[in-house]
Structure 1
């Protein structure tokens, strides 16, 4: 949207006043009521690449916007209107004049706010939360940037309900380095991190983190890595606030620490209790004078990267500190709302015009400057912003557009910084990622190989960025069917990750998960099952049972069980994953629907098609509603429906379903696509069961010829189709032809076996 836009013929956009991960905020004029308002324009949702979440997002937007519009409290931002314009969802809100708490901390050079201001913010926010919580509404993303102090002193909470929309958009993209795709690490409750039940007490924990920061100048877990922050929330008692600031009243310190209790039941149970305790603590002696600043350390020249201040170990801490591998990386600024960093790292943090290369073996370590002029800060900032725009497009599934952005940025960074600069390589890494996601694994492999070799030369073989590129190489090797090479690559990366980061680091567990997947594709099913089970247990212990990463691995455990023929156990695991995903991600999330599909497959394998049939009917309806009637996943669910109709002996219905799905797949995917050929074979099966063997022969032969043409005459799928054809010839009384075909298939199989040996 631009400053000439008239939204829905009523709201004239005047000037851009904010931009974030979800979209833009504009100062606007309501031309019907002649008043100034704020218009928040969320990212467009009508792109073809994002159809899988469009319907769900629109519906949730309307629901959440209605909820937000129904809130009427002095401490909550008023929502006037909402709708959709040119593919972008928008909200019309009251225009607030003031600064959010994040900006106030920035203005104060991250020194704590005056005690009187901290207490006033606490009291007003407690009142607003008491109001919203009584209505059953939980914010889920309280942070300094979402709490505004107006020029008249009023404190308002922003983005009620809308924060969840951002989570819904980004959850369908690849997960971040920690697997967390919601909330902001410095302000997340332990139960939110673990994927547990979130209620009003989670908001109170997040607000405790906010109070800690505005009262001390630092968040409760001021660590350098997103994973360390998350583990701090779950396992570490924070330093008492008065260890940072001696003039903080004791009652306020006690209240903040109570809000930061690990277990929800140990916190104040509602915001009314919080407000009551704040009121009880307000005494003439408690707050500092209104204009008195908090304790400020002596001014000193700030180095470019200041070392963290030395702090005493807390005497009250009885829980373990985060492990050593959680230190030494970056998450970005605490109060800007940035989430956990991506892998590879987000280039907006730490872009520089010069860098230090790894010295060659045996040489003394000396700073090596790039052999080119240092580019201007403006150019670096522009390239970082464009790089992040490419990442945002990827999160929305718009991989083709993201690839174009990353290729352009990579070329400009190479020109400005050099081909081996870490930021250039970060852009080329993202180019490889977009190639992988747009069906070009061979091109992606070349790109990742270049990045891996360059990073090894510049950063070292064991640098996390080098290992990230090598792991992506392994992934695309698997996509290319080169599973032996993928296995070797994963095993090599895993050994390095375990040695450097430890067995429970998220990157180590991710690599072991991928290794389990590759083992299953190599037919090493027992090894795959054992490895996946170990990873699932570790992720349950570290992340929680309902964390998305844990559920992904449990899904892999179920798949291995099915391949081993242990279908009752596979069914139980799939059902548990489907239920957990429904609660954590929502019933319409693609991962939830995928688990439900596997439940249907397991029921069919166990001969329980009577139960599988209604499951598939519901799944077809849900897939069609979420993705559309012609989406490949909708057609896959319809294929399962047809198969189970056949298993119940309802062959006329099964044949009709198979023919319809086959025609749709031919149009959407192409006549020779593997899924289309699977459906055509199902048509032949139905014809055979109905005794129409001549028609079945035509279909079987068509499938066999297509598979030979695409896969080769000795491919297992092509040989299986020729076997189907021979069986059909037998049914038609054409025994000699069937025998000749069986012999041909046997010879090709023997030839393939000898070639493989």
Structure 2
């Protein structure tokens, strides 16, 4: 393919950066956005193929490319675009600055990578696989060349969906005389070789091969001849890695050997379980981290009982806006006429762009606008009562009326549309909410400018909603930009600035960047303490998030001390039975467990569960989380019979309240099965596992539809 060729009048090919059986990878320039990208050009579709085959192939390509483009995780290469140009199928991806694992081994003269590097790579790839498997997507061609370590240490998996395309197009290697389609023999699972059904556990086997190679310098079956390699995968046990690498910790050897089990049922159940095993291996004193973190409760999407009314959706870091108390000499930047136009831009008789008062309104129009203001208040009240469907309809109707009377970009029109978006979000309809938010943001940018506080507020909501859609990388980028803009416009200590910075820390945590998240949480907590005081609810909320970050980084002793201080402060200001006081006590439970102080954790968990049941209700999500912590502590103390009763109660309640397919309900079923296994009730455990697998499959099918 010619250098400087322009693909679809947008992507100019600059330099070849890779070639393979499926085509070429180019460094290219996106002429529209002025950024460099990577363009993978698959081999041209020639006349030797039947037209019907080409049509099927194109459809398959579009489907697989959409799957790849929908993945949003820091451990997966971002797909920007895809299409066909003059018979060449192409995919546009982010351009990575780094080396793939095969190149790293070559750079190291095929010697094993240092143990800390091995551990970091294993954990990051596992986290990315956990995400993709949750989306019901299997890579099928995981190998060192498809895993890149970037310049900043981030590890990314490449080519999701591309391996399957290669099989269809016929670009994959084939065994001589066998007619068996092959991908990468050194990393293929036994079920792939035998043409049996392939699921997420095949990726785990391939990951085991990759980890074996970077840990020892050679793949598990380095036998030279392709057929011998395949027979090795199918029939032979790999040499224990420590026979080749004696300094490798034994716990990691055991993990790799389990990943390389011939029978998929003998491998780790999924990438989440593998992640826990890796965490245990990194910090053996913590043993199995069976306790749940206090930020892991998910907000149910289905209609729930009355106690859910008024619950705040979204992340734990999201804080309700409270009055700002400025501090002399450190107050936020004061808004000038450049923003306000010298008058209130919310006045019904003002121009939304210029802020200049117009002629007096006729009485009938003034009356109509007053009526709309009343309807706006009524719509807000419906939301406060938890009647979000009615609230959304009222705001949409109000937005239409205001658009007719005031214009589509008037601040009041846009406010009504924004409130309609909030209602959609509360109903779990995040894609529709995103569309509304984007339209409101466009209107506010046009009318007020991109740096107006109202525009930044809308951009803040767009960013949060991207996170709820699972687009974490986009959420991270936009949240960071909004935080910087608010600091510039409103000042670094303004509550809106700090709220966005809290959200930035939250998404950093979701992306697994806990060291960076903790630093931001600590900065927000310090700023709120300086401006609002150490015992202000916003300050205490920020300190709670600091505790989560400390726990995530294995600093449980510091987290435990922090939560003790939080319990005391919350009790003084809000009372012992306030939900936030109980949340801080739950943090104590989690970190007592992390230190293996299980008897103390059990006593605290029981007290918190009883208090939450009394204050919030028996079936409240927080109550159920505390009941689960009680079961975890009982299990660690060897009291599995008592633990089973708690696990069963939690599983039944979550299924009843949330629905059988909800993630929390599925997690409870998994807990129940593991407890039954501990009690030796294998048949009952197997039945629960089968039921769980069926529900996960149903969930995956629904997500693809």
- How does the TM-score come out when normalised to structure 2? 0.51
> What stretches of structure 1 of length at least 5 have no aligned partner?
1-46, 55-171, 181-226, 236-319, 330-344, 359-364, 716-757
Cα deviation, residue 382, structure 1: 2.1
- The farther-off stretch of 460-469 and 698-707 is 698-707
**Corresponding residue for 1:354?**
349
Alpha-carbon deviation of 1:415?
Answer: 2.3
**Correspondent of 2:679 among 684, 690, 695:** 690
Indicate if the aligned counterparts of 2:491 and 2:497 stay in contact, CA closer than 8 A.
Answer: yes
Residue 526 (structure 1) aligned to one of 515, 519, 522: 515
Distance 2:336 2:377 in 1: 22
The 8 Å contact of residues 52 and 626 in structure 1, kept in 2 or not, is answered as no
In structure 2, do the counterparts of structure 1 residues 568 and 397 end up closer, same or farther at CA, with 3 Å as the change threshold? farther
- C-alpha distance in 2, partners of 1:466/1:366? 15
Say yes or no: does 1:435 pair with 2:424: yes
> Within 5 A, what are the aligned runs for 1:7-18?
none
Consecutive unaligned residues of structure 2, counting only runs of 5 or more, are 1-302, 311-315
Q: 1:353–1:374: 8 Å Cα contact kept in structure 2?
A: no
1:650-729 correspondence runs (5 A): 650-711=639-700
Matched, 1:636 2:652: no
Q: Is the 8 A contact 1:354 1:374 kept in 2?
A: no
Displacement of 1:375: 6.2
Which moves more between the two structures, 468-477 or 566-575? 566-575
Number of the residue aligned with 1:461:
450
RMSD, aligned α-carbons = 3.3
What is the CA–CA distance in structure 2 between the aligned matches of 1:384 and 1:428, rounded to whole Å? 14
Q: Is 2:598 aligned against 1:609?
A: yes
Residue 603 to residue 375, structure 1, CA distance change in 2 (3 Å): farther
Q: Is the 8 A contact 1:49 1:398 kept in 2?
A: no
Is structure 2 residue 406 aligned with structure 1 residue 417? yes
Q: 2:543 aligns with which of 541, 551, 554?
A: 554
Quote the Cα distance in structure 1 between the aligned partners of 2:406 and 2:370: 13
> 1-side partners of 2:362 and 2:433: how far apart?
31
Q: Per-residue CA shift, 1:647-702, capped at 9, x if unaligned?
A: 11111111122112212221111112111111111111111111222322222333
Task: Give, in angstroms, the shift of residue 390 of structure 1.
Answer: 3.0
Deviations 1:271-296 (A, max 9, x none): xxxxxxxxxxxxxxxxxxxxxxxxxx
Give me the whole-angstrom Cα distance separating, in 2, the residues matched to 1:639 and 1:511.
32
Tell me the distance in 1 between the aligned counterparts of 2:534 and 2:578.
18
- SS of structure 2 residue aligned to 1:410: helix
Q: Deviations over 1:231-282 (max 9, x none)?
A: 3xxx5xxxxxxxxxxxxxxxxxxxxxxxxxxxxxxxxxxxxxxxxxxxxxxx
1: CA distance, partners of 2:540 / 2:579: 13
- 1:199-214 equivalences under 5 Å are none
Structure showing greater radius of gyration is: 1
Q: 1:34-113 maps to which residues of 2 (within 5 A)?
A: 51=307
The 1:563/1:513 distance shift into structure 2, 3 A limit, reads same
2:473 match: secondary structure: helix
Q: How many angstroms does 1:511 deviate by?
A: 1.0
Who is 2:564 aligned against?
575
What corresponds to 1:125 in structure 2?
none
Give how far 1:642 is off. 1.3
Distance in 1, matches of 2:431 and 2:305, equals 22
Superposition deviation, residue 396 in structure 1: 4.9
Taking a change above 3 Å as real, the CA distance of residues 470 and 632 of structure 1, as seen in their structure-2 partners, is same
CA distance in 2, matches of 1:436, 1:589: 27
1:406 pairs, out of 376, 379, 395, with 395
Aligned mate of 2:469, from 475, 480, 495: 480
Given the alignment, which residue of 596, 601, 604 partners 2:585? 596
Secondary structure of the structure 1 residue equivalent to 2:333: helix
Per-residue CA deviations over 1:339-387 (Å, capped at 9, x if unaligned) read xxxxxx9xxx8753333243xxxxxx796979x9896222222222222
Seen in structure 2, the aligned counterparts of structure 1 residues 575 and 387 have a Cα distance that, compared at 3 Å, is farther
Specify the SS of the correspondent of 1:376: helix
> Do the aligned residues in 1 keep the contact of 2:418 with 2:440 (CA within 8 Å)?
yes
The answer to whether 1:323 aligns with 2:331 is: yes
Distance in 2 between residues matched to 1:375 and 1:519, nearest whole Å: 52
Cα separation, 2, equivalents of 1:713 and 1:324: 47
CA contact (8 A) 2:345 2:355 kept: no
> Partners in 2 of 1:700 and 1:48 — Cα distance?
27
Q: Deviations over 1:113-155 (max 9, x none)?
A: xxxxxxxxxxxxxxxxxxxxxxxxxxxxxxxxxxxxxxxxxxx
Distance 1:521 1:174 in 2: 14
Counterpart residue number, 2:530 = 541
1:325 aligned counterpart, secondary structure: coil
- Cα 1:468–1:48 change in 2 (3 A) is same
Contact 2:331 2:491 (8 Å CA) reproduced: no
Structure 1 residues 443 and 498, CA, compared in 2 at 3 Å: closer, same or farther? Answer: same
Q: Which residue does the alignment assign to 2:503?
A: 514
3-state SS, counterpart of residue 350 of structure 2: coil
Q: Conserved in 2, the CA contact under 8 Å of 1:687 and 1:695?
A: yes
The farther-off stretch of 580-589 and 472-481 is 580-589
Which whole-Å CA distance do the structure 1 matches of 2:309 and 2:420 have between them? 24
The separation in 2 between residues aligned to 1:402 and 1:379, in whole angstroms, is 20
The count of corresponding residues between Structure 1 and Structure 2 is 391
On the 8 A contact 1:403/1:430 being kept in 2, the answer is yes
Matched position secondary structure for 1:565: coil
Residue in 1 that maps onto 2:368: 379
- Give yes or no for the alignment of 1:498 onto 2:487: yes
CA contact (8 A) 2:304 2:657 kept: no
Counterparts of 1:539 and 1:570, CA distance in 2? 19
